[in-house]
Amino acid sequence: FKIGRVVVGAVTAERDSSSALVVSVANYKITATSENGQTFTTASKLDGSFVLNLPAARYTISMNPAAFN
C-alpha cells in the first residue's frame, strides 16, 4: 500500500459585465504531471469541480490550453 494524495479543485470563469457570452466550466481537461513525466487526467464536472487521486509525488497541475482560445 502506497500513500497517495487527493487534489480537489474547481474551474471558474468570470465574464466581463458588458459581455453576453455564457461560458460553461464543464468538461475541461485537467492534467497532473509528475516530476518524472507521468501524467494523470480528469475532466471538470458541470459545476467546474474536479478530483484527482494521485500517487505521492510532486506535480504540476494544468488545464488544456485550448480552453483559453
pLDDT (tens digit, 9 = 90+) per residue, 29-58? 999 999 999 999 999 999 999 999 999 999
Over its C-alpha atoms, the chain yields an Rg (Å, rounded) of 14
pLDDT given for residue 20 in this prediction = 84
Q: In what order do the strands lie in the sheet with 59-63?
A: 39-43, 29-34, 59-63
Residue 65 has pLDDT above 70, yes or no: no
pLDDT confidence of 3, banded at 50, 70, 90?
A: confident
Average pLDDT estimate for 3-29: 88
d(CA 52, CA 26): 16
d(CA 67, CA 69): 6
pLDDT given for residue 67 in this prediction = 64
d(CA 35, CA 12): 26
